[in-house]
Amino acid sequence: MSDAQGDPRRRHSAKVVDGPGKSASRAMLRAVGFTDEDFRKPQVGIASTWSQVTPCNSHIGELADKACQGADAAGGKGVIFNTITISDGIANGTEGMKYSLVSREVIADSIETVAACEGFDGLVTLGGCDKNMPGCLMGMARLNRPSVFVYGGTIMPGKGHTDIVSVFEAMGAHSRGDMDLIELKQIEETAIPGPGSCGGMYTANTMASALEALGMSLPGSSAQNAVSEEKREDCVRAGAAVLKLLEEDIKPSDIMTRAAFENAITVVIALGGSTNAVLHLIAMARTIDVALSLDDFTEIGKRVPVLADLRPSGHYMMSELVAIGGIQPLMKILLDAGMLHGDCLTVTGRTLAENLADVTPYPLDQEIISPLSEPLKAESHLRILYGNLAPDGAVAKITGKEGTHFSGPARVFGSEEEAQQRINDGTVVSGDVVVIRYEGPRGGPGMREMLTPTSAIMGRGLGNEVALITDGRFSGGSHGFVVGHVTPEAFDGGPLALLEDGDLITIDAQENTLVVDLSDAELARRRANWQQPTPRYTRGVLAKYARLVGSASEGALTDQD
């Protein structure tokens, strides 16, 4: 029989397997391979998001095995369990995309459920597709047990330097008549060459970088190719690292501090990362009881420049950044410039500054990361907008290539599908501000990404001539003059619900405003005549989500205080 005495690392598993009263528990575990010796070891849950659903996660089964081996070799007992993943890239533009943000909550719930039920002492979580990462971190934060996150790694470029966004934009070009079916099929067949997360600084690579900067991944984990020996070694080291964290009793709450979240925001800005980072970082911070708001992105953005020339707005892919050293040299540049908090603790048991002390600088001839003296943009590309269309805030990704000001008549649509149809048939024309409403967390429900309509706009050659605003959100692959996360959302009676075709909308990314040229009296008149739509779902996970979810400006959480 197991005996936990003298091993404080087993504070959770001991309650499950120790003593004569736990013979039934041990009998069950013997059937899955536990030995007498294993019952004396700290148990490390390995949360795998392996699935054939998407190339982002199709290799993670092997990586979970490596993490388990690392935990076992370091004196623990690794136990692999699965949680779900969905694929944004596959579901985009369909009703199925409504389940995407919902999956973040399901992942967090399932990790908390399994680890708390089974009494794991520590955790390794492995994620690939967009919602896996914040979902894993939220689960780890709720449990607050020694934990390490491992990123599944980035995909390699497709033929002709293509990726998933190339396919979406090719679809837009085909609908315009600029690309025939043979060319479209050639891109379709070659753009996704194997396992790994989407190859630009889209949401997956953005969040992986943010989590490394946060201190919850081992150094280098965010910038490794999915199919590589480096990634396999990263997993082994992560399994072993949890045993060290257990030894030193270092928990997520010791690492995920306010200063650490500021580091994560800083790195996201420098990399030109996805707007989804705003949503997810706020959600993660609130889960670990750290105060973080939309306005923090504005304040930090005033002093942090965009340095990385990465897709979707730039030229290079994550695999090319991996080849010159990943994000560690960039973090060293930011640290030396006083832009990062070097005293933040990380999952290595050392501080961020200690981790970065011996980092090799980028090659002198590289062109991906600009010097601080010559940034691509002097301030953040992530703009938090307010105004009579967004009293509680909205999020835009404005690199400067789109300009910083757009004004035009509203072209209003009540769903993504309706907007997509009207973009493709030529109803949307140069100068329009496309409004897609009732796609927020509650109204959608699920706050779908608008990659399909934004890619259609690009594919039809309107990228610099049309703006788009929505209470939904955007893929990290979206670019152009786009504003999302408009709050309050239309379903809750936000001003977006009151717009009519032809209303003059102005987006100003210098003054950080989003306004419609209507008087307060006119808005009040329209509000008096507005009725909340009937919920689109009354049963199942989407209906449950719609009843529980909070505002996008507060992270769109379902487990709120």
Residue 217 belongs to some domain of the structure: yes
pLDDT in tens, 367-395: 999 999 999 999 999 999 999 999 999 99
Residues 214, 72 share a domain: yes
Name which of 246, 247, 167, 154 is nearest 209 in CA terms: 154
pLDDT in tens, 445-457: 999 999 889 888 9
Residue 249 belongs to some domain of the structure: yes
Q: How far apart are CA 66 and CA 433, in angstroms?
A: 49
Residue 465 CB contacts under 8 Å (≥ 6 apart), including other chains: 430, 431
Residues 413, 277 share a domain: no
Residues 169, 201 share a domain: no
Residue 19 belongs to some domain of the structure: no
Residue 227 CB contacts under 8 Å (≥ 6 apart), including other chains: 59, 153, 156, 194, 195, 196
Q: What band does 2 get if pLDDT is binned at 50, 70 and 90?
A: low
The number of domains in the chain is 3
Residue 8 belongs to some domain of the structure: no
In which order are the strands placed within the sheet that holds 147-151?
77-82, 43-48, 122-127, 147-151
Residues 206, 171 share a domain: no
Residues 167, 276 share a domain: no
Residues 452, 429 share a domain: yes
Domain at 217, CATH number: 3.40.50.2300
pLDDT in tens, 356-369: 999 999 999 999 99
Does 51 qualify as catalytic in the annotation?
no
Q: How far apart are CA 109 and CA 134, in angstroms?
A: 12
Q: What band does 232 get if pLDDT is binned at 50, 70 and 90?
A: very high
| Catalytic residue from among 475, 478, 551, 553 | 475
Task: State which of 193, 219, 238 marks the end of a domain.
Answer: 193
Contact 81, 47 (CB under 8 A): yes
Residues 523, 414 share a domain: yes
> What is the mean pLDDT of the segment spanning 403-424?
95
- Asked if residue 344 has pLDDT above 70, the reply is yes
- Asked if residue 400 has pLDDT above 90, the reply is no
pLDDT for position 3: 56
Residue 25 belongs to some domain of the structure: no
- Asked if residue 249 has pLDDT above 70, the reply is yes
Residues 333, 461 share a domain: no
Print the domain residue range for 544.
382-554
| pLDDT-above-90 percentage for the chain | 91
> What is the mean pLDDT of the segment spanning 473-478?
87
**Which pTM value belongs to this model?**
0.97
pLDDT for position 526: 98
Residues 409, 290 share a domain: no
Q: How far apart are CA 374 and CA 307, in angstroms?
A: 8
Q: How far apart are CA 213 and CA 544, in angstroms?
A: 33
Task: State which of 193, 221, 242 marks the end of a domain.
Answer: 193
Domain at 409, CATH number: 3.50.30.80
Q: How far apart are CA 140 and CA 50, in angstroms?
A: 18
- Asked if residue 5 has pLDDT above 80, the reply is no
Residues 426, 350 share a domain: no
Residues 184, 125 share a domain: no
Residue 17 belongs to some domain of the structure: no
Residue 36 belongs to some domain of the structure: no
Distances (CA, A) of 142 to 28, 256, 312: 27, 12, 33
pLDDT in tens, 483-504: 999 999 999 999 999 999 999 9
Residues 335, 203 share a domain: yes
> What is the mean pLDDT of the segment spanning 426-436?
97
Region of poorest pLDDT, from 5-19, 52-66, 247-261, 529-543: 5-19
Average pLDDT along the chain:
96
Q: What band does 112 get if pLDDT is binned at 50, 70 and 90?
A: very high
Residue 376 belongs to some domain of the structure: no
Task: State which of 146, 172, 193 marks the end of a domain.
Answer: 193
Q: What band does 320 get if pLDDT is binned at 50, 70 and 90?
A: very high
pLDDT in tens, 137-185: 999 999 999 999 999 999 999 999 999 989 988 988 898 899 999 999 9
Residue 32 CB contacts under 8 Å (≥ 6 apart), including other chains: none
